[in-house]
Amino acid sequence: MDKLNDLRKVANINNLNWELLEQPGLPDENVWWFNLSYDPKSGQGSYLYKMGPNSRSNPHEHQGPEEFFMLKGDLVDNDGYIYKEGDFVSLSGGSKHYSHSPSGCVIVVTHRGKVVDLDKEEM
């Protein structure tokens, strides 16, 4: 039987090695992530997501639920809804959106289904 320590992964937000997140149609956007457990094949898992001031995400659809917790900053969805620090959000599978962050933000994200990149025309 594995020991608990062999099954544990700990990341501290104060000293992460953030990776630039490649987004279709948005090269060099100031968006980074730290993958804790997200598996792109299954669309399952969690990661930390960071956007610089005035950065944006590409349009996408969630094939399963997405939940996120706003640790810092603000995020504005394409329908104008503003998420603020402390908000815990659940979006159902089938939701389509893209976002921008006026002041920058740090978010904990969990997916239970694949994320499909879209063109704005598919929104």
Give the C-alpha distances (Å, rounded to integers) separating 16 from 20, 32, 53, 105: 12, 11, 19, 15
Question: In a 3-state reduction of DSSP, which class is residue 41?
Answer: coil
pLDDT value for 53: 98
pTM: 0.91
The answer to whether 43 and 113 are in contact (CB under 8 A) is yes
> Which tens digits make up the pLDDT trace of 99-120?
999 999 999 999 999 999 999 8
Residue 1 has pLDDT above 80, yes or no: no
Measure the CA angle with vertex 66, ends 46 and 107; round to 5°. Answer: 55
> Which tens digits make up the pLDDT trace of 13-57?
999 999 999 998 898 899 999 999 999 999 999 999 999 999 999
Within 10 angstroms of residue 106's Cβ, the number of other Cβ atoms is 20
> Which tens digits make up the pLDDT trace of 49-98?
999 999 999 999 999 999 999 999 999 999 999 999 999 999 999 999 99
**All domains in the chain, ordered by first residue:** 30-122 (2.60.120.10)
